[in-house]
Amino acid sequence: MDALTEGYVTEDGRRIGGVLMEMKNITLRFGGVVAIKDISFDIREGEIRAIIGPNGAGKSSMLNVISGFYHPQEGEVWYKGGVRPSMKPFEVARQGVGRTFQNIALFEGMTVLDNVMTGRLTHMKASIWEQAIWWGKAEREEVHNREQVEKIIDFLEIQSIRKTPVGRLPYGLKKRVELARALAAEPSLLLLDEPMAGMNVEEKEDMSRFILDVNDEFGTTIALIEHDMGVVMDLSDRVVVMDYGKKIGDGTPDEVRSNQDVIDAYLGVAHD
């Protein structure tokens, strides 16, 4: 890995900033099973960073460490220039780390609009008493947040289903609503857990476009996990490759593509 202290400029001319998050020597165990073994990498501001690897490589575990759902036994998570203490997931979310889930986690009984509005929760500061009587700050906040949410709904082209209960939507749209909810929080870092899993080609193209647009329009830093190699290579600026809980490659898509270890892992060369 080259020394990227001041950020870099991508091939398509986007300016990538300093380190936003850094994983330092992370090890995560479940009992005797080592899910992640001494992995370090960084995520830079404005970048689209992918974590790839075969099934069971520990990608999702890594995402769960970043979002605070799992707590590693060893190693440090650095965020915005400081060590992040052990936090609960909702605290991590309040620090500006948004995420989507592999098996869609939406509030099925609520409408699309309400789902996306939950993304604004961390931006609403009115006290519980003000909310109870729906007075002053509570009302102003709701109106302001509603505007923000409408912007995102427009952006992701889900206006027509705003009032539909999420439970009734097809899979591809649910994925998009989940993205909208995560975006509504205006996250500094957006984590996408297999955003394209289970989609057909057309839906994948749509989703790729949205991910690129989000990054471009809002400057959101994105870290994603994905199975589909083609998609990952097109989307991301830098790629971490994991296999059996270890990091076997890290670099631009081109560098990773020509890495012998990565090729072995994907072609299934026997591990000795």
Partner 1 sequence: MELLNKIFVAPFADMIAAPDFLMQVLWEGLVSGVLYSLIALGFVLIFRSSRIFNFAQGIMVVFAALTLVGLHEMGVPAWISVALTLGVMFLLAVTIERVVLRPLVGQPDIILFMATIGITLFLIGFGEIIFGGENKVMITSELGIPTGDIVLEPFGGLLILQHIDITAVLVAATLVVSLLLFLNKTRMGRAIRALGDDHQAALSVGISLQTIWVLVWFIAGIIALVTGIAWGSRAGVSFALEVIAYKALPVLMLGGLESITGAIIGGLMIGMLEKLFEIYWGAPLLGGNTESWFAYVLALVVLLFRPQGLFGEKIIERV
Residues within the interface to partner 1 (CB under 8 A): 67, 69, 88-91, 93-94, 98-101, 105-110, 114, 117-122, 124, 126, 128, 131-132, 134, 138, 141-142, 181-182, 185
Residue closer to partner 1 (CB basis): 18 or 89: 89
Say how far apart CA 174 and CA 112 lie, in whole Å: 9
Residue closer to partner 1 (CB basis): 15 or 168: 168
Residue closer to partner 1 (CB basis): 1 or 105: 105
Residue closer to partner 1 (CB basis): 161 or 183: 183
Give the Å distances, CA to CA, from 266 to 19, 182, 226, 272.
29, 31, 14, 15
Residue closer to partner 1 (CB basis): 52 or 185: 185
Say how far apart CA 157 and CA 154 lie, in whole Å: 5
Give the Å distances, CA to CA, from 184 to 8, 26, 171, 267.
28, 30, 20, 39
Closest of 96, 88, 100 to residue 21, by C-alpha: 96
Q: State the minimum distance, in angstroms, from the CB of residue 205 to partner 1.
A: 26
Q: State the minimum distance, in angstroms, from the CB of residue 244 to partner 1.
A: 26
Residue closer to partner 1 (CB basis): 63 or 248: 63
Q: State the minimum distance, in angstroms, from the CB of residue 222 to partner 1.
A: 15
Given a contact cutoff of 8 angstroms between Cβ atoms, the answer to whether 245 and 57 are in contact is yes
Given a contact cutoff of 8 angstroms between Cβ atoms, the answer to whether 7 and 17 are in contact is yes
Residue closer to partner 1 (CB basis): 7 or 165: 165
Given a contact cutoff of 8 angstroms between Cβ atoms, the answer to whether 153 and 113 are in contact is yes
Residue closer to partner 1 (CB basis): 69 or 155: 69
Tokens found for residue 118: 């939950």
Q: State the minimum distance, in angstroms, from the CB of residue 35 to partner 1.
A: 18
Q: State the minimum distance, in angstroms, from the CB of residue 138 to partner 1.
A: 6
Q: State the minimum distance, in angstroms, from the CB of residue 1 to partner 1.
A: 30
- Where does the chain have alpha helices with state H? 59-66, 89-94, 112-118, 128-133, 137-155, 171-184, 201-218, 229-235, 253-257, 260-267
Q: State the minimum distance, in angstroms, from the CB of residue 63 to partner 1.
A: 11
Q: State the minimum distance, in angstroms, from the CB of residue 136 to partner 1.
A: 13
SS3 55: coil
Residue the block writes with tokens 């830079």: 44
Say how far apart CA 28 and CA 145 lie, in whole Å: 38
DSSP letter for each residue of 212-256: HHHHHHH--EEEEE-S-HHHHHHH-SEEEEEETTEEEEEE-HHHH
